[in-house]
Structure 1
Amino acid sequence: MAERASSVERVRAANLGEVLRLVHQLGPRSRAVITAETGLNRSTVADLVAELVSRGLVVEQEPDPTRRVGRPSPIVAAGDAVMAIAVNPEVDAIEVGAVALSGRVRERIRVECERPPSVEDVVGVVARVVEGWQASALAGSRFVGIGVAVPGLVRVEDGLVRLAPHLGWHEADIRSPLAQRLGLTAAIDNDASLGARAERLFGAAREHRNVVYLNGGASGIGGGLILNGTLIAGAGGYAGEWGQTRPSIPAEADRRTRAGTLEDEVNRARLLQVTGLGAVDDPLLAAALSEVESPDVADEIDRQRRILAATLANAVNVLNPSMIVLGGFLGMLSESNADGFTADVRANALAAPGEQVEIRAAALGADRLLIGAAEAAFAPLLTDPVRTLDALGA
């Protein structure tokens, strides 16, 4: 009898997780739609939704008043009160966000750094920021976990940062001190892998199952790969290090390093230097690049675009994606002439895979890494909502 009860509890936990995942990842939907999507009966869905509402995970809204046939079904939406803490340490700043289960970034702060932050620096900043939120803007809200997007090699099995060269981290454990300091579970992953996941679930690649994602940040270029709807991590979780590949440079005059990697040639710091900007965030850099008047700036943008386009053509030939998403400064480079950039990639690629591919800047913009980090933190909740909340005493 106990074994049967345990089986029933597991089925209910899975069903609760499935309903929560649907409204979290696919957006508000009626109970009738949830019933159709899950294959469960109406009374079971009503019961599951009621429990999720009682736990503060979802809210029910009035049905669409324009519906005229039959009795309208209430709309179920993920709530704003349950959140994840999202963290992205970079060489020049630590960004911290509070991302709600609804997908809304309710709060974010960028803490500038004079030098690359250490693990201790990051833990201290996150703790101070969250304590401030809990005492003011987010008082009464619940945090269910921490997600950290690290620009480096992260071991998939335990979140150990094997190497984040630009941060100076080697065999660094950030998960344990963060979890201990804040009393929450922490999930650590490569920043570009998390960005790829966010854009696949909520952004530019939402309708695509074969995606190449490249993220351009202050620490260089990372990437993610999604094949047939699955994020490819590799044997140890290190897949997607596009920045460390040797770039395709068709014109030798475009080369700036003797034997450099892609991120040595296509480089945010070079853009900052030629524009005369200091340590600025992406919106300020994007504004500067969109109003180009200096020939030197225009030439550097064109040079980096040519190298990036030739390199992406290799990805098109090898992987045959239907979508390439470019985040950070890479998206800025492509958007300066989006149609021309796509044409350049296709011109360097084989005709058949080239004609299928779309290329877009990350739709989530500056939120992409925070949303991706939050998604990693939400994973236990989406698997078993009740057990996760009970473990937190929430």
Structure 2
Amino acid sequence: MAARGNNLDTVRRHNLATVVELVHRSGGLSRSRLTALTGLNRSTIAALVGELVDLGLAVEEEPAQTKRVGRPSPLVRPNRAAVAFAVNPEVDAVTVAVVGLDAVVRAQIRCEMDATPTPEEAVAVTASLVREISADLPDHAVVLGLGAAVPGLVRSSDGLVRLAPHLDWTDVPFAQMLADATGLECWAGNDASLGAVAERSFGAGEGVSDLVYLNGGASGIGGGMIVGGELLGGIGGFAGEFGHTRVAGAAVPGATLEDEVNRTRLLEALGVPASDSDQLEQALRETDDPDAIAEIDRQVDMLSTALRNTINILNPALVVLGGFLGALFDARPEKMTQLVGVQTLGPAFDDVKIVRAALGDQILLIGAAELVFENVLDDPAARVGAASRHPVE
């Protein structure tokens, strides 16, 4: 249910934030629908929409003609020129994108790295790619900030990367380093938690109040949990590290889930280059090599056990698998669902559905941009005034 607005002038900030969030999440609503959802009167909605248009966050469009009597209510949509930058540093690449307020990735550039980037290298590459991609932004663009999706434990209060074991980063003030290098307001968060937010807002989990998202990437396996409609972050923002849980049946005692369900091992078994996710997906579906099939089935079995534990503990309505985990699920959907069902308590399994992430490879970038929008849209009049009205120099 949408947040209720208030007609008092003292809560204008709240009303403005409520309206822009509704427009952002929906992709566009009529003024009459905004009036109904917020409980505000038509003149107040008109004034708030006018302010959002002036801030460069929204545009109004005439709706398509209908057979209804009377003038149709104008449509209020996110302004395509309102954007955030997003970055996802990984062990093998740094990817930067421009994401619109409508949650559409406008452009992205992946810079492959010869070795795992240091924090300084990741920041330098990000700043360079931001400058490059900014050249194609329109002059009237409103750049709201930069969000980073980091594969590690990121302190939610200030974007400090406390520990990113695969990147070999410890206590890195990544958000501040990015801000210093780009001149933008910057935020950082755990990549899988941001993926959970993105998938819940715009993907397979839209409208679902309780879901678990597991992401499989070059840096291992991470997770995010939406509980009661809110991201479950824990006291420091570190919740969801499913990849570091130990698994039974591993060849090496004490092995973790990401040791056993592992992208590199799949690539090696299938003979696929590390950078080619499309080829990996095709090989997962089509291989007839007995050793590769054995490795796929082993990883499916391990992942199914982890999902069993997750479902029994959290009782979600939806489990969403992203990255190579989504490709692994698509290769063996019936087998994985059957294995999870055998091991899960019946009532919990009855309530859950396992799906692949709908946002594909862009999910972490959309999630990183959401980190910007979440902070800026909380007080749009104040925060957008500090945002860039032009591409970053």
**Normalised by the shorter chain, which TM-score bucket?**
over 0.9
Q: What amino acid sits opposite 1:269 in the alignment? A: T
- Deviation of 1:381 after TM superposition, in Å, equals 2.0
1:206-225 equivalence runs, <5 A: 206-225=206-225
Instruction: Name the CA distance, whole Å, in 1 between partners of 2:340 and 2:242.
Output: 16
- Are 1:299 and 2:291 an aligned pair? no
What SS does structure 2 have at the residue aligned with 1:116?
Answer: coil
Instruction: Name the CA distance, whole Å, in 2 between partners of 1:9 and 1:267.
Output: 55
- Deviation of 1:344 after TM superposition, in Å, equals 1.6
Partner deviation per Cα, 1:164-186 (whole Å, 9 max, x = no partner): 01111011111112111211111
Which of 305, 310, 313 aligns to 1:315? It is 310
Larger mean CA deviation between 139-148 and 215-224 belongs to: 139-148
Q: What amino acid sits opposite 1:125 in the alignment? A: V
- Deviation of 1:337 after TM superposition, in Å, equals 2.7
Instruction: Name the CA distance, whole Å, in 2 between partners of 1:287 and 1:62.
Output: 44
**Which position in structure 2 is the counterpart of 1:342?**
337
- Deviation of 1:377 after TM superposition, in Å, equals 1.0
Q: Is the 8 A contact 2:149 2:190 kept in 1?
A: yes
Query: What is the total number of aligned residue pairs between the two structures?
Result: 383
Instruction: Name the CA distance, whole Å, in 2 between partners of 1:305 and 1:237.
Output: 29
TM-score calculated relative to the size of structure 2: 0.94
Partner deviation per Cα, 1:97-119 (whole Å, 9 max, x = no partner): 10010111001011001111111
**Which position in structure 1 is the counterpart of 2:109?**
109
Q: What amino acid sits opposite 1:242 in the alignment? A: F
- Deviation of 1:128 after TM superposition, in Å, equals 1.2
Partner deviation per Cα, 1:332-379 (whole Å, 9 max, x = no partner): 111113233222211110111011110001110111100000000112
Q: What amino acid sits opposite 1:79 in the alignment? A: N
Structure 2: gaps of 5 or more residues = 1-6
Q: Is the 8 A contact 1:203 1:363 kept in 2?
A: yes
- Are 1:363 and 2:368 an aligned pair? no
Q: What amino acid sits opposite 2:36 in the alignment? A: A
- The structure-2 alpha-carbon separation of the partners of 1:301 and 1:233, relative to structure 1 and needing over 3 Å to count, comes to same
- The structure-2 alpha-carbon separation of the partners of 1:170 and 1:281, relative to structure 1 and needing over 3 Å to count, comes to farther
- Deviation of 1:248 after TM superposition, in Å, equals 4.0
Structure 1: gaps of 5 or more residues = 1-6, 250-254
TM-score calculated relative to the size of structure 1: 0.93
- The structure-2 alpha-carbon separation of the partners of 1:390 and 1:243, relative to structure 1 and needing over 3 Å to count, comes to same
- The structure-2 alpha-carbon separation of the partners of 1:140 and 1:288, relative to structure 1 and needing over 3 Å to count, comes to farther
Identity over aligned pairs, percent: 49
- Are 1:198 and 2:198 an aligned pair? yes
**Which position in structure 2 is the counterpart of 1:55?**
55
- The structure-2 alpha-carbon separation of the partners of 1:152 and 1:393, relative to structure 1 and needing over 3 Å to count, comes to closer
**Which position in structure 1 is the counterpart of 2:144?**
144
Instruction: Name the CA distance, whole Å, in 2 between partners of 1:161 and 1:152.
Output: 7
Instruction: Name the CA distance, whole Å, in 1 between partners of 2:111 and 2:283.
Output: 22
Q: Is the 8 A contact 2:81 2:141 kept in 1?
A: yes
Q: What amino acid sits opposite 1:35 in the alignment? A: T
- Are 1:182 and 2:182 an aligned pair? yes
What SS does structure 2 have at the residue aligned with 1:326?
Answer: strand
- Deviation of 1:46 after TM superposition, in Å, equals 0.9
**Which position in structure 2 is the counterpart of 1:283?**
278
- What RMSD over aligned residues (CA atoms) do the two structures have, in Å? 1.6
- Are 1:390 and 2:385 an aligned pair? yes
- Are 1:352 and 2:328 an aligned pair? no
- Are 1:15 and 2:52 an aligned pair? no
Q: What amino acid sits opposite 1:222 in the alignment? A: G
What SS does structure 1 have at the residue aligned with 2:214?
Answer: strand
Q: Is the 8 A contact 1:134 1:140 kept in 2?
A: no
Q: What amino acid sits opposite 1:334 in the alignment? A: F
Instruction: Name the CA distance, whole Å, in 2 between partners of 1:196 and 1:129.
Output: 26
- Deviation of 1:64 after TM superposition, in Å, equals 3.1
Q: Is the 8 A contact 2:322 2:357 kept in 1?
A: yes
What SS does structure 2 have at the residue aligned with 1:257?
Answer: coil
Instruction: Name the CA distance, whole Å, in 1 between partners of 2:283 and 2:384.
Output: 45
Q: What amino acid sits opposite 1:13 in the alignment? A: R
Q: Is the 8 A contact 2:272 2:279 kept in 1?
A: no
- Deviation of 1:201 after TM superposition, in Å, equals 0.8
Q: Is the 8 A contact 2:86 2:368 kept in 1?
A: yes
Q: Is the 8 A contact 2:142 2:388 kept in 1?
A: no
Instruction: Name the CA distance, whole Å, in 2 between partners of 1:241 and 1:137.
Output: 36
Larger mean CA deviation between 175-184 and 84-93 belongs to: 175-184
Q: Is the 8 A contact 2:144 2:388 kept in 1?
A: no
Q: Is the 8 A contact 2:151 2:222 kept in 1?
A: yes
Instruction: Name the CA distance, whole Å, in 1 between partners of 2:372 and 2:287.
Output: 40
Instruction: Name the CA distance, whole Å, in 1 between partners of 2:176 and 2:134.
Output: 22
- The structure-2 alpha-carbon separation of the partners of 1:172 and 1:347, relative to structure 1 and needing over 3 Å to count, comes to same
**Which position in structure 1 is the counterpart of 2:128?**
128
Instruction: Name the CA distance, whole Å, in 2 between partners of 1:242 and 1:29.
Output: 37
**Which position in structure 2 is the counterpart of 1:376?**
371
- Deviation of 1:207 after TM superposition, in Å, equals 2.5
